[in-house]
Amino acid sequence: MDMAKSREERDKGAHWLIDYITHLVADKRRTGATDGILAELIDKTDGESPDLTEKQLIGLGVLLLFAGHDTTAAMMGLSTLTLLTHHEQPEDMLAHPEKIGTTVEELMRYLTIVQFGLGRVAKVDLELAGAPIKKGDLVVVAMNAANRDPRAFQDPDAFDIDRKMARHMGFGYGVHQCLGQNVARAELKAVLPKLFQRFPNLRLATPLEEVPMDFTGTNYGVRKLMVTR
């Protein structure tokens, strides 16, 4: 979602997405489809003792599509840009396939495409890391700052696929960690090596400073990545 757009434009896009999922649910009911997570959610809505309301079903469908597609698409584009500007590291990743896991974790830490956590309101006066927080104050975690904290990561502004990884905040933390994190990891582990195996001479077609970045969307990323080989 582009936060630079007007509220009216954003509302229009949100309503389109709700309508799309509503029609998709109706189509799956009509055809009796049983495959996929949406079909499983429909089953939990239409059963004799439903666990979900229709509104909750549609809301979960919207969340799964938006959170599962937009974030991973942004991460793939930005990961490709990062690897293209650190030439020796994709070569190292391909030469040592066992490093793809640490490469993905380092990309999640280094890039942090979802830069801010959900807001929380303090229920009582408290102090956090020396900062006073009053009851009623809104607290938002800057996950990109946490992932570049020199107290947690040595030389945090460097991209290093051999990093001995401490726990990063790329997928959140605690009980509110991203539910789709293992799917996202699997997609990145599959896509990135295949991309550089198929196009070993892949490189940027424009200077780095001319790559248009997305600073106004829900997720940080690139708007367009021109490459050549």
What is the Cα–Cα distance from 88 to 226, expressed in whole angstroms? 20
User: Which pTM was predicted?
Assistant: 0.78
Residue found under tokens 């890039």: 111
State the pLDDT confidence band at 35, using cuts at 50, 70 and 90.
confident
Average pLDDT over residues 134-143: 91
Domains and CATH numbers, the chain: 7-228 (1.10.630.10)
User: At 208, phi and psi to the nearest 5?
Assistant: -55, -40
The model's pLDDT over 150-201, given as tens digits with 9 standing for 90+, comes to 999 999 999 999 998 778 988 888 887 888 888 899 999 999 999 999 999 9
Cβ(112)–Cβ(169) below 8 Å: yes
State the pLDDT confidence band at 208, using cuts at 50, 70 and 90.
very high
Which regions of the chain does DSSP assign to beta strands (E)? 120-121, 126-128, 131-133, 138-139, 203-204, 213-214, 221-222, 227-228
What is the Cα–Cα distance from 143 to 146, expressed in whole angstroms? 5
